[in-house]
Chain A
Amino acid sequence: MSAPRALMELRDASLDRTGANRLTLWLLGCVAVTLLLTFGSLVIGTSSIETSLGWILSPDAQSSVVLWQIRLPRSVGAWLAGALLGLAGGIAQGVFRNPLADPYLLGTASGAALGVTISLIAADVSVGGLAWASKLGVTGAACLGAGGATLLTISLSRGVLQTRSLLLSGVVVAFLLGAITQLMLLAKPDIWRSMQSFLFGSTGFISWSSVGLLGTVFGLSIIPAVFLSRGLDALTLGEDTAQSLGLSLPALRLTLLGIVSLATAAAVGEVGVVGFVGLVAPHLVRETLSVNHRQLLIAAPLCGGALLQAADLASRWLIRPAELPVGAVTACVGGSYLVYLLWRRSRNA
């Protein structure tokens, strides 16, 4: 065997032909489902206006607004939020080397909820507070809260070296901030009501400006994440081996956890605390494909986006003309998927 030919074979081997084909098929499938769901979400809605193909092609002025200013941004935004959660989940599972890790385990969700609660209460009690809260916006408050919670978790565990203490600190911070939020809401029942949609997760408030924000954050997160994915591959060999290969563990963890918290904060700020998408999307990719982290970090967002878009569509369609909170749909679907996984595993064992 000549050397160049051998090299070619090795290159082919590392690409893993059949695996690559399966991945391509899988990604194309995700894109097709997404396009289908986008179309579906344009024709299905709670408004009483007619839903048909002809209506899409030649809408009147009112339907045009519904179509382009409400349904399309909502659908695109749902996809982006799901993609952010899928990406954050994929990174978190790689960083913690745990398939059950999810984007919320650093306490980001509780931090975001607390941030939003504080901003709503501030807007309620004083004029200065209102000015401050409106300047910041719900998204800003959620991002601040999520970022604060991540910092608190990392400082509680004294850095990012010990994954176990990081996970434990995340749980503690989530409980602590959750309790503070509950106490604040107890004192303000009217705010509690408006917080419900946030805590359940809702895709109903996505505008084009939200889509712009989500899209920007998605671009800012996925590029460095894919760039750093080889470090996550090295980490699958264990922390010691990864370090011996020349990887700086603290730098990698800090950067990637920063991306996780940024992506999660943006998603939570726009659609609230939507559960299970970040956990299930990377899981679904790994269950159906054997992938390295570069492939995972590309496939998981596509899968997460399609999942949240589907959940959004279901939330509008299931009890039409009323609407379910999208978080309730993802919790039901995601929960049953995990139960199915458990059942299948116990049957195989």
Chain B
Amino acid sequence: MPEALTSQAATPALSCEGLRVGYGSRVVLERVSLDIPPGRWTSVVGPNGCGKSTLLRALAGLETARAGAIFLQGRRLQAWPRRERARRLAWLSQTAPITDLTAAEVVALGRFAHSGWLAHREADDEAAAHRAMTATGSLAWATRRLSTLSGGERQRVHLARVLAVEAPVLLLDEPTTHLDPPHQEDVARLLREQAQRRGVSVVSAIHDLSLALTADRVIVLGHSGVVGHGTVREALAGDWLSVAFETRVNIVEHQGVHLWRPALDIPPQQGIDR
């Protein structure tokens, strides 16, 4: 399996070179160059305010880069026609928007770039929506208005909307917020499946370090830029997390799983500011 993945990784699904993004006078990302391989789940970790969301938004084409370039499947992001791009790249926002539409209507919007104004191949759209809702366990609320769902239920509907796009690149900003631990696990399993079975490039910002380290690869962001980008093993060997968080981050390995262990022996004034 690893051999197959390395050969696939030769052509990045999504990449950026010398990316600089900022708001007003504040530069959030500077000289960021990344290659995101297909068929892998990459998680983006780093302290609050280091630019995880900004990176995902920039890669999704929602922020204007001040310098550098982004390439989707080898072609400049801006060069893609709007709808063709939307079919290849799906983005999940950090805040699950509340709307009066039903869950089924929201998931159907994931097929917006496929069907567009003129409905065509409706059966494909319905099948994709159905698969996505089944995968996220949100089919039971299909007729419910999003405004009547709980935060976690809403999150799963939005996740279904993103999956319904059936894009080769998924950019997910905090896909596990509002979810209870078993459902976080479900989402992690789902992302892994998308990467392994469908060859999708999944990039997700995840706060929970233990969960983030179940991904194939990590991009570790610090306040002064990218600390490192590589496999989970490389990240742990180089202790990138401690560098990024500017404090000792304890990761223990337990039966092949990496777990973040809160270091409670550290006095509060030196603790992690989160």
Contacts and interface: CB of A to CB of B under 8 A. Distances in A.
Given A245-B110, A246-B86, A7 B126 contact: yes
Contacts of A3: 127
B109 A246 contact: no
Nearest to A6: B130
A13 interface: yes
A345 interface: no
Given A14-B102, A238-B97, 13 more contacts: A7-B130, A9-B142, A10-B142, A13-B102, A19-B102, A230-B112, A233-B101, A234-B112, A238-B93, A240-B57, A244-B62, A245-B113, A292-B105
Interface band, chain A = 20 to 34
B85 interface: yes
A247 interface: yes
Contacts of A9: 142
Contacts of A292: 100-101, 105
A291 to B, nearest CB: 8
A13 B104 contact: yes
A241 B161 CA distance: 11
Contacts of B165: 245
A236 B112 contact: no
A60 interface: no
A31 B245 CA distance: 64
Contacts of A243: 61-62
A24 interface: no
B164 to A, nearest CB: 10
B78 interface: no
A228 B112 CA distance: 12
A244 B113 CA distance: 9
Nearest to A240: B62
Interface string B39-75: 0000000000000000001001110000000000000
B126 A11 contact: yes
B224 interface: no
A238 B102 CA distance: 16
Contacts of A11: 126
A284 interface: no
Contacts of B133: 10
A142 B57 CA distance: 44
A14 B105 contact: yes
B126 A290 contact: no
A159 to B, nearest CB: 15
Given A236-B100, A238-B97, A241-B91, A10 B129 contact: yes
A17 B60 CA distance: 36
Contact of B86 (A19, A245, A290, A291): A245
A19 B106 CA distance: 16
A131 interface: no
A107 to B, nearest CB: 29
B86 A230 contact: no
Contact of A13 (B85, B127, B134, B143): B143
A11 B129 CA distance: 10
Interface of A: 3, 6-7, 9-11, 13-14, 16-17, 19, 227-228, 230, 233-234, 236-238, 240-241, 243-248, 286, 290-292
Interface string B15-47: 000000000000000000000000000000000
A16 B82 contact: no
Contacts of B110: 245
B139 interface: yes
Contacts of B143: 13-14, 16-17, 19
A246 B108 contact: no
A314 B55 CA distance: 59
Nearest to B83: A246
23 contacts: A6-B134, A9-B142, A10-B104, A11-B126, A14-B105, A14-B108, A14-B143, A16-B102, A236-B99, A238-B93, A240-B57, A241-B91, A241-B93, A243-B61, A244-B60, A244-B89, A244-B90, A245-B110, A245-B165, A246-B85, A290-B145, A291-B100, A292-B105
B183 interface: no
B223 interface: no
Contacts of B57: 240
B78 to A, nearest CB: 13
B97 A241 contact: yes
A88 to B, nearest CB: 20
A3 B85 CA distance: 30
A237 B103 CA distance: 12
Nearest to A236: B99
Contacts of A240: 57, 62, 91, 93
A240 B139 CA distance: 25
Nearest to B133: A10
A14 B130 CA distance: 11
Given A230-B117, A290-B100, A246 B87 contact: yes
Contact of B127 (A7, A14, A238): A7
A244 B86 contact: yes
B142 A236 contact: no
Interface string B136-147: 000100110100
A10 B140 CA distance: 10
Contacts of B123: 7
* The 8 residue pairs across chains A and B that have the minimum distance between CB atoms: A246-B86, A246-B113, A13-B142, A14-B104, A244-B91, A236-B99, A246-B83, A245-B112
A7 B85 CA distance: 27
